[in-house]
Amino acid sequence: MFLRVIAFAGGLTGAAGFSQFPEFSQQYLQRLGGAVEALEQVVADFDASAVAEGLSREAALDQMQGTAFLERRREDMQATITRFTGLRGDLEALETQSSWGRAAAGWRFGDVELITATSKAFRPGLPLTMEGAGFAGAGFLTGWALLLSLFALIRWPFRRR
């Protein structure tokens, strides 16, 4: 009986945690969109400067050498372009998904800066939507099943045969 109560508590904990995913993913998506827009402007400005000089992006990056400052600036710009490309791909993949689709594409929530900023600003709320209730149910079942499995594993060596 005690184990069932503990498993039920695990289920409730899972429900509370999972039910927050739809709102958290929405807030992450908003920040992701803002980051993509900001990086897009930086990359577009760089590309416009390159075109004004008759250069491709790669040729402009290749010309940024000769001093420590220019080489550092080239590395920074390459990192910015790489981050922009990755985040834009994540945004395109996530913005058309439902909350369940976003959960299945969890690896798309990989930008540490955005996760940190979203986590700092996020305030949990009650799951007042069908999606929130669905995630709460999935979390409850997951937490309940994990704790029951853990208890079964712990009791396994002591079973009667």
Which of these ranges, 9-23, 26-40, 106-120, 134-148, has the smallest mean pLDDT?
Answer: 9-23
CA dihedral angle for residue 81, residue 84, residue 87, residue 88, rounded to 10 degrees: -120
Determine the Cα–Cα distance for residues 121 and 104; give it in Å rounded to an integer: 23
C-beta atoms surrounding 126 within 10 Å: 12
pLDDT at 33 over 90: yes
Q: What is the DSSP annotation of 13-59?
A: HHHHHHTTHHHHHHHHHHHHHHHHHHHHHHHHHHHHHHHHTT--HHH
Burial class from Cβ neighbours inside 10 Å (0-12, 13-18, 19+) for residue 59 reads: exposed
With bands split at pLDDT 50, 70 and 90, how would you rate the model's confidence at 126? low
pLDDT at position 3 is 80
Mean of per-residue pLDDT scores for the chain: 89
Residues 6+ apart with CB under 8 A from 114: 28, 31, 32, 35, 87
Determine the Cα–Cα distance for residues 135 and 29; give it in Å rounded to an integer: 18
pLDDT at position 10 is 82
Spell out the domain ranges in the chain. Answer: 1-20+130-161, 31-123
pLDDT at position 20 is 84
Judge if pTM exceeds 0.75: no
With bands split at pLDDT 50, 70 and 90, how would you rate the model's confidence at 144? confident
pLDDT at position 155 is 86
Percent of the chain scoring above 70 in pLDDT: 98
pLDDT at position 130 is 77
User: Between 15 and 73, where is the model more confident?
Assistant: 73
Averaged pLDDT for residues 13-28: 85
